Amino acid sequence: MITVGKVQILKIERITPIGAYLSDGTDEKDVVLLPEKEVSRNSRVGNEIEVFVYRDSKDRLISTMREPKIQLGEFAVLKVADVTKVGAFMDWGLEKDLLLPYNEQTMKVLKGRDYLVNLYTDKSDRLCATMKIYPLLKVGAPYKVGDWVEGYVYQINPEIGAFVAIDNLYHGLILTKDANSDIHCGEKVHARVAELRNDGKLVLSPNKKAYKEIPKDAIMILTKLNESQGFLPYNDKTDAYIIKKELDMSKSSFKRAVGKLLKEKKIKITERGIEKNGK
């Protein structure tokens, strides 16, 4: 049986001017089209090829030899390509972007930002993304208190904290008291396991021993200053997303590093941004 949303090996049943029709070999009537532009010249009837099956812009089954960034039931961090009246569309590596319906969003998403999603099929058998992944995550992660883990923030509740998908698989939580104010959905975090709860979920702490990160972050800022002729257009008003994207650090880490460099008189702050002293 041909499965929507999965990479699978199918057999060429026939080749036509518009492309090759593929089947799983059990039912010649159950076929899916591989468009002509993706059919190689040496393809022959009976050949087996690996393809991904999805639906085109007219909801017709179609296959592609492109590898998607996510498959049915999987988690992946995808970038929002556009936001429209029907929802957001995410880049998943195929010609047709993937729909993230409004009712599957846990917050207002922004074009150009990354978010952790799961791929599912809706009632019409169409592939869609969802940010509502809490019930899909597992407990019992193979970590102990003190271990460092990585994951993506997929939801934020101001009263509870930031929900993290550890290894895109397990439940994790950064409590509000430990969460940086600039943590946002889609952000990758590196945190220590602070507590193993009785329900198998992990409480995380990204702020412990934060002072150890200051030298590294300060060096990063100085390096960027040297590469940019002694000036960077960032300050306290710069959006946290830009800081993360351009400097690979949180805004709170940025502030700590800037404070250290100011104290050491290596930089000065202007209305335009940061300038290196003696540049």
Domains, the chain, ranges and CATH?
Answer: 7-64 (2.40.50.140), 75-134 (2.40.50.140), 137-208 (2.40.50.140), 211-276 (1.10.10.10)
Residue 203 phi, psi (nearest 5): -95, 130
- Give the C-alpha separation, 177 to 205, whole Å: 10
- Give the C-alpha separation, 116 to 132, whole Å: 10
Q: What is the DSSP string of 119-134?
A: EEE-TTS-EEEES--G
Going by their DSSP bridges, the two strands 148-157 and 32-35 should be labelled as unpaired
- Give the C-alpha separation, 196 to 3, whole Å: 38
Q: Is 143 left (phi over 0), alpha (psi -120 to 50) or beta?
A: beta
pLDDT of residue 279: 52
pLDDT of residue 202: 96
pLDDT of residue 208: 47
Low-confidence ranges of the chain (pLDDT < 50): 208-212
- Give the C-alpha separation, 180 to 145, whole Å: 21
Going by their DSSP bridges, the two strands 202-205 and 170-175 should be labelled as parallel
pLDDT of residue 45: 94
DSSP structure class, residue 139: S
Q: With beta carbons less than 8 A apart as the criterion, state whether 205 and 178 touch.
A: yes
